[in-house]
Amino acid sequence: MTTLEQLLTVQEHDTHLDQLRHRLETLPERTALAEHRRALATLDAETLGVQEQRDAIGRDQKRVEDEVASVEAKAAEVDAKLYSGTITSPRELQGFQEDLESLRRRQRQLEDDVLVFMEQLEPLDADLAARATRRAELATEEERLAAALADAERAVEGELDDATAARARDVEPIPADVLDRYDRLRKQHDGVAIARLVGNHCGGCHLTLSAVEVDRIKHEPPDALIYCEECGRLLVR
């Protein structure tokens, strides 16, 4: 086998390795997981909005409930004083009586407000519960997708390991200067540095070489480095 034949085998390994790396980067499992995570992030952002709305109403409700407790305590105080028997002046008694009624009215009003808050919270709490269920489902699905991606990655990485080992074996006999040239050409020509001359076609650029050029190539010594006159890639006869 000539050096160029050996180099062509290395090229096949490199092309295969490039394809495997591309496959690894563009695994459909990776896209599926990324899309799923975006959906999760959207759900979380929306849920945060609902939660904030719920918390704001919850705080209002707590504030009014505290006020109810304070009005109730005040009413109990007035009530106790009213029936303690210590107040004898009818005018004073009437004053306390009016205070008590006013406090009771205020308490009922506030309790109605609490009911309104509770009614507002009900659908929000139901929504949050449904969201929590949905979140748990999506989290389970995320785990499944992540495991599927890990499996797919492992499979391609196994192939990469095998191809890397095969390349290392086949690159061994190739002289360093030829390899340098090969590496440079690969960078210049989209990963393909060397191709076979098929009839009068370059296997790299698929263009036809002139009859004069093909004839000249035929008369070159077997190990001479020959380049395609169209694309500049190395050619194997």
Number of residues that bind Zn ion (CB under 5 A): 6
Residues 202-231 that bind Zn ion (CB under 5 A): 202, 204-205, 228, 230-231
Closest to 46 measured CA to CA, from 128, 136, 129: 128
State the minimum distance, in angstroms, from the CB of residue 226 to Zn ion.
11
Report the residue number, 82 or 205, with the smaller CB distance to Zn ion. 205
State the minimum distance, in angstroms, from the CB of residue 214 to Zn ion.
12
**Of 77-85, 96-104, 174-182, 197-205: span binding Zn ion (CB under 5 A):** 197-205
- C-alpha–C-alpha distance, residues 56 and 52, integer Å: 6
State the minimum distance, in angstroms, from the CB of residue 24 to Zn ion.
29
- Is 197 a binder of Zn ion (CB under 5 A)? no
Report the residue number, 4 or 228, with the smaller CB distance to Zn ion. 228
**Of 139-147, 167-175, 198-206, 210-218: span binding Zn ion (CB under 5 A):** 198-206
State the minimum distance, in angstroms, from the CB of residue 177 to Zn ion.
22
Report the residue number, 82 or 214, with the smaller CB distance to Zn ion. 214
Report the residue number, 178 or 197, with the smaller CB distance to Zn ion. 197
**Of 3-11, 35-43, 194-202, 216-224: span binding Zn ion (CB under 5 A):** 194-202
- C-alpha–C-alpha distance, residues 156 and 61, integer Å: 58
Report the residue number, 4 or 68, with the smaller CB distance to Zn ion. 4
- Is 192 a binder of Zn ion (CB under 5 A)? no
Residues 47-66 that bind Zn ion (CB under 5 A): none
Q: What is the DSSP string of the chain?
A: --HHHHHHHHHHHHHHHHHHHHHHHT-HHHHHHHHHHHHHHHHHHHHHHHHHHHHHHHHHHHHHHHHHHHHHHHHHHHHHHHTSS----HHHHHHHHHHHHHHHHHHHHHHHHHHHHHHHHHHHHHHHHHHHHHHHHHHHHHHHHHHHHHHHHHHHHHHHHHHHHHHHHHHTTS-HHHHHHHHHHHHHTTT--EEEEETTEETTT-PBPPHHHHHHHHTS-TT--EE-TTT--EEE-
Report the residue number, 64 or 193, with the smaller CB distance to Zn ion. 193
Q: Which residues bind Zn ion (CB under 5 A)?
A: 202, 204-205, 228, 230-231
